[in-house]
Structure 1
Amino acid sequence: MTTLSGTGTLLRLALRRDRVTTPVWIAVNALMVLSMPNTLKTLYGTESERTDLVRQLQTNASFRALIGPLHDTSLGGLTAWRVGVYAGVLAAVTGLLVVVRHTREEEETGRAELLASGAVGRRAALTAALLAAGAANAVLALVVAVGLAPQGGAGALSLGLGLGAVGMVFATTAAVVAQLTESARPARGLTSAVLGAAFVLRAAGDSASRDGSSPLTWLSPLGWLENLRPFGGERWWVLGLFTAAVLVQAGVAYVLAGRRDLGMGFFPARPGPATGALGSAAALAWRLQRGGLLGWSLGFFVSGVVFGGLAQDAADLVGENDNAREIFERMGGHGALTDAFLASMTGMLGLVAALYMVSSVLRLHAEETSGRAEPLLAAPVGRLRWAAGHLTVALGGSALIMLLAGLGFAVGYGKEVGPVLGACLVQLPAVWVIGALALLLYGVAPRLAPTAWGVAVAVLLIGWVGPALNAPRIVLDLSPFGHLPKLPGGGMEWGPVLSLLGAAALPASLGLAALRRRDVTA
């Protein structure tokens, strides 16, 4: 038996287990990219509007840090500029989730040990995970290349390959990190930290240079994606950097995988105290989720500072572009353009906060399926008290990150703290509705609980892409965020807020009642 024996079987198993989640991630990413040409044609349909955009980018370092430099004013070039970095981030997240799930998570749950007792080689699981991530990124690259081909074949191909390459760089990063830790959550957290550092390096480099030539930009794989320059005089040699990074990291992961025991890591977990210090289910939930909440809190505060700084130049960024002004107002604001910009950005952070809410609520599902909930519930801890601990963290955590986002806006904008803080906090009822739906799915049908991610992503797309595509009101109203008062700039309306709170309470109550009556997964 070789170290790769059983790879094909494990690959088929991985693809079967990911047959829903991975296609959803790919579809969301591809839709975000492929919807941009028509949107940008509406926003910047004339040469004068595009020239004005280039002028603003040349003089606004904050805007370059947020999105990146513009290398070409064609629709394809505008698409690569507008969504390239964020599509790369999404591809990276997909890759790291796939690899961690089929390597470290399998070892943590004990399934890998059962498989290893058969004819399965030491490096088969790692190989299968990387092949699964490679398949996902290949499909993304193909869909983007074909979908954007009418804008230019070479540019479409380079953007598709660049997105797939970014995904594989962070997939192999996750493969290395998975050998170092003993748990899936630190593996995902550390890889996400590397991705965050890559984004910060790219942003710092782009703010310092107008064409992406800063050394800081070149230190980031996301900066490589920019400097591949799709639709702007493609630099095909940049793909060599991605290839080298993937090969080096994959090689390191293979070496590490052959030098450790199954289930162990090079950074072993610290032993706990001889006497437990956690006196309640809520304290345990806080201990389990505090690291993730810290990362979300930092990200939201920094995002608030960045968006707040951009708000001061919102009128200059839009200029005389009436279409852009209308889209900002449809996304969440009325009245002055600065208020419309602030309302749209706070609404976007609210949509992202819904993702945190789902991840926090579904920690209940992770604890149950991993087998850690069963011995806890065998002690004098009721199911409702156990669930309430995680729900308290989810509700309080979502409020905390939106509060910090509001404070970040206040720091960046430097004016009128109260209105922008209220605009952030008013997003919470809609965020809690999404969390309540996740709890309902978990309580009634735990096997369907991961589909809560699909609900959150659908709401995100409605809020982000819907206004740009001029979607009808009936579609926008499918999202709970579409019923919130538009602050700042609009008047406060308590009726929709209270209705959303009631809409959140009902599915949450039904989910808890179902959890109390069903069997716990063994």
Structure 2
Amino acid sequence: MTTVAARPPFTETPFGAGEFAGTGQMLRLSLRRDRVIAPLWALLIGLMPALQIVSIKDLYSTQQQLDQFAATTAASPALIAMYGPVFSSALGSIGTWKAGAMYALIAIAAVLTVVRHTRVEEETGRAELVGATSIGRFAGLTGALLLTYGAAAVAGIVCAASLMATDLPVAGSVAFGAALAGSGFVWGAIAAVAAQVSSGARIARGVAFAALGAAFAVRAVGDAGNGVLSWFSPLGWCLQIRPFAQERWWVLILLAALGALATALAYQLLRTRDLGAGMLADRAGPAAAGAGLAGPVGLAWRLQRGSLLAWTIGFGLYGLLIGGAVQSIGGMLDDSGTLKDVVTSLGGSADLEKSFIAYAITMLAAAAAAYSVSSVLRLHEEENSGRAETVLAAAVGRVRYASSHLLFAVAGPAVALLVCGLGIGVVWGATEGGTADKIGQSLGAVAVQLPAVWVLTAVAMLLFGVVPKYAALAWAVLSAMIVVFLLGSLGGLPQWMLDLVPFIHPPKLPGAAFAPAPLAWLLAVAAAGLAVGVLAFRRRDLR
């Protein structure tokens, strides 16, 4: 006779050392996988504020110019909503004003890093294989958080050191670096919570980025108003530390407390849920697929529509802010003769308001390229998860499958930028008159940047098709181009290096003369890269 022992009922166990067993190994694995990406974003984000200081030194050489800059900014609710208030006319405060965008940028990097090493690992089944060994339940999450927090700390240290190297006060430099690291800490912890709540990496990123977008909106509305609402946003806390303007060190306690609470919540949620599942159950789908899901294009639409909607809304709102800032920016730029030379070197016009729009749209084009790269790399994610193999096992060719995602990688940035251009034109026209003409100029300005965006789309597809193992290097290429573009605006870089950045070549509309030749070359390069990438994907083995 065979006897079967009764299975004891499930009981929750308190946190123990065994749950963290293997944390060192998981951290080393995370470091190994992110040995290029993590140091890259930490260094780039850490150095960007110092580059901003250098540019401000060149553009505003006297204290009178800095005072005028601060006064003009304080009178523009649109500029305050975009970047936050200027708390002092000191060089450090003015120079790090726009660098406050780094708080959001490091938040994005932290979210992507945490989700990549937690929810993606569960979604692909690798976490289950690792968990079947002597690795504890919390080891993977702990390794991901240690990597993210460590990279954020490195970014903060690099930021503080580079600011001090520009002869800024030590206290303000350390405060800005601490705020930068604190933002990475908080949003890394929020991403960890999102990874426990959702059942998929795409949803986890959506939840975290939705929280980030809400925090930005609350901060923007609060700063444009009486400032009270800003205290309900972690991004507002970073600004309220006020580097170089009688620093408020106690605000760091708020960031530390929120980060610690979110981290503890993430561990508690991980402890109580099943591996591979989320706290929110998946919504049951219909019994039969609708006509919209027929074919690879329908599948790609289902996978890409959330990102397309989010980016389009974000670009539209930013376009409204840019349009509202045009009037005040003209007087601000007129105070600096050096800035006029910079505008001319970048292909701008003598009309500084139009040149401001052209420069802002160029930077938004770089952001649109990031969206496009993300859309292309969705192919890489589908392949790594094994879902691409299932789709391609049916009557779907590889070229058709890849083209379905490339459709959104090419058309998505166009939609987002055109909505942004429409927002700029509407507000610009409402404040200065001639709305129809202003809308036409703004739409033309964003349209000429699309070939440059598509060059980055081609780079991502080329890497995915030829060397899929290194497809993520498309982010490094984009980051390097942005840095070269920003440094090129200050002069000193050789022309051949500037020519490698596609965003430099389109005519700087509105204001500059239209030149079709650069657009034709950019379109040719993009088309060739896309074609080679698709053909390479068609011929290689799936991973």
TM superposition score normalised by structure 2: 0.92
Matched, 1:68 2:81: no
C-alpha deviation, 1:260, in angstroms: 0.4
**Pairing partner for 1:176 from 187, 193, 197:** 193
Which residue in the other structure is 1:37 paired with? 53
In structure 2, C-alpha distance between the alignment counterparts of 1:385 and 1:62, rounded to whole Å = 44
In structure 1, C-alpha distance between the alignment counterparts of 2:368 and 2:66, rounded to whole Å = 33
C-alpha deviation, 1:72, in angstroms: 2.9
**Pairing partner for 2:127 from 70, 91, 112:** 112
Matched, 1:99 2:117: no
Superposed structure 1 runs of 4+ greater than 6 Å apart: none
C-alpha deviation, 1:93, in angstroms: 1.2
In structure 1, the residue corresponding to 2:20 is in which secondary structure?
A: coil
**Pairing partner for 1:158 from 160, 163, 175:** 175
In structure 2, C-alpha distance between the alignment counterparts of 1:27 and 1:200, rounded to whole Å = 27
C-alpha deviation, 1:475, in angstroms: 2.7
In structure 2, C-alpha distance between the alignment counterparts of 1:354 and 1:343, rounded to whole Å = 16
C-alpha deviation, 1:516, in angstroms: 1.1
In structure 1, C-alpha distance between the alignment counterparts of 2:410 and 2:75, rounded to whole Å = 41
Which residue in the other structure is 1:243 paired with? 256
Matched, 1:131 2:146: yes
**Pairing partner for 1:11 from 3, 7, 27:** 27
Matched, 1:198 2:215: yes
Which residue in the other structure is 1:341 paired with? 356
In structure 1, C-alpha distance between the alignment counterparts of 2:148 and 2:535, rounded to whole Å = 38
Matched, 1:480 2:502: yes
Which residue in the other structure is 1:435 paired with? 457
Seen in structure 2, the aligned counterparts of structure 1 residues 62 and 329 have a Cα distance that, compared at 3 Å, is farther
In structure 2, C-alpha distance between the alignment counterparts of 1:486 and 1:231, rounded to whole Å = 35
Which residue in the other structure is 2:4 paired with? none
CA RMSD of aligned residues (A): 1.5
In structure 1, C-alpha distance between the alignment counterparts of 2:404 and 2:174, rounded to whole Å = 48
- How far does the alpha carbon of each residue in 1:381-431 deviate from its partner, in whole angstroms, 9 at most, with x for none? 100010010011111112111111111111221232111111111111111
C-alpha deviation, 1:288, in angstroms: 0.5
Larger Rg belongs to: 2
Which residue in the other structure is 2:267 paired with? 254
In structure 1, C-alpha distance between the alignment counterparts of 2:459 and 2:536, rounded to whole Å = 13
**Pairing partner for 1:367 from 370, 379, 382:** 382
C-alpha deviation, 1:251, in angstroms: 1.3
**Pairing partner for 1:304 from 297, 312, 319:** 319
In structure 2, C-alpha distance between the alignment counterparts of 1:145 and 1:257, rounded to whole Å = 35
**Pairing partner for 1:56 from 72, 85, 89:** 72
Corresponding letter in the other structure for 1:37: I
Which residue in the other structure is 2:475 paired with? 453
Which residue in the other structure is 2:528 paired with? 506
Matched, 1:185 2:202: yes
- How far does the alpha carbon of each residue in 1:67-88 deviate from its partner, in whole angstroms, 9 at most, with x for none? 22222333322233230x2111
* 8 Å contact from structure 1 (residues 351, 463) kept in 2: no
In structure 2, C-alpha distance between the alignment counterparts of 1:404 and 1:472, rounded to whole Å = 35
Q: Which sits farther off after the overlay, 167-176 or 335-344?
A: 335-344
C-alpha deviation, 1:457, in angstroms: 1.4
Corresponding letter in the other structure for 2:423: G
In structure 2, the residue corresponding to 1:56 is in which secondary structure?
A: helix
C-alpha deviation, 1:121, in angstroms: 1.5
Seen in structure 2, the aligned counterparts of structure 1 residues 412 and 326 have a Cα distance that, compared at 3 Å, is farther
Seen in structure 2, the aligned counterparts of structure 1 residues 190 and 487 have a Cα distance that, compared at 3 Å, is same
In structure 1, C-alpha distance between the alignment counterparts of 2:74 and 2:465, rounded to whole Å = 52
Q: Percent identity?
A: 43
TM superposition score normalised by structure 1: 0.96
Corresponding letter in the other structure for 1:509: A
**Pairing partner for 1:23 from 39, 45, 63:** 39
C-alpha deviation, 1:377, in angstroms: 0.5
In structure 2, the residue corresponding to 1:39 is in which secondary structure?
A: helix
In structure 2, C-alpha distance between the alignment counterparts of 1:82 and 1:297, rounded to whole Å = 23
Q: How many residues align?
A: 516
Which residue in the other structure is 1:293 paired with? 308
* 8 Å contact from structure 1 (residues 311, 341) kept in 2: yes
* 8 Å contact from structure 2 (residues 425, 441) kept in 1: no
C-alpha deviation, 1:332, in angstroms: 4.6
C-alpha deviation, 1:359, in angstroms: 0.7
Which residue in the other structure is 2:442 paired with? 420
Which residue in the other structure is 1:270 paired with? 283
Corresponding letter in the other structure for 1:190: V
In structure 1, C-alpha distance between the alignment counterparts of 2:264 and 2:289, rounded to whole Å = 41
- How far does the alpha carbon of each residue in 1:66-124 deviate from its partner, in whole angstroms, 9 at most, with x for none? 122222333322233230x2111111112111211111111111000011111122222
**Pairing partner for 2:224 from 201, 207, 211:** 207
* 8 Å contact from structure 1 (residues 429, 500) kept in 2: yes
In structure 2, C-alpha distance between the alignment counterparts of 1:314 and 1:72, rounded to whole Å = 18
Structure 2: any 5+ residue segments left out of the alignment?
A: 1-16, 430-434
* 8 Å contact from structure 1 (residues 329, 341) kept in 2: no
Corresponding letter in the other structure for 1:28: L
* 8 Å contact from structure 1 (residues 301, 408) kept in 2: yes
C-alpha deviation, 1:56, in angstroms: 0.8
In structure 2, C-alpha distance between the alignment counterparts of 1:308 and 1:41, rounded to whole Å = 27
C-alpha deviation, 1:472, in angstroms: 4.1
Corresponding letter in the other structure for 1:423: A
C-alpha deviation, 1:360, in angstroms: 0.8
C-alpha deviation, 1:14, in angstroms: 0.8
Superposition map of 1:464-479 within 5 A: 464-469=486-491, 471-479=493-501
Seen in structure 2, the aligned counterparts of structure 1 residues 402 and 58 have a Cα distance that, compared at 3 Å, is closer
C-alpha deviation, 1:469, in angstroms: 4.6
In structure 2, the residue corresponding to 1:404 is in which secondary structure?
A: helix
* 8 Å contact from structure 1 (residues 173, 249) kept in 2: yes
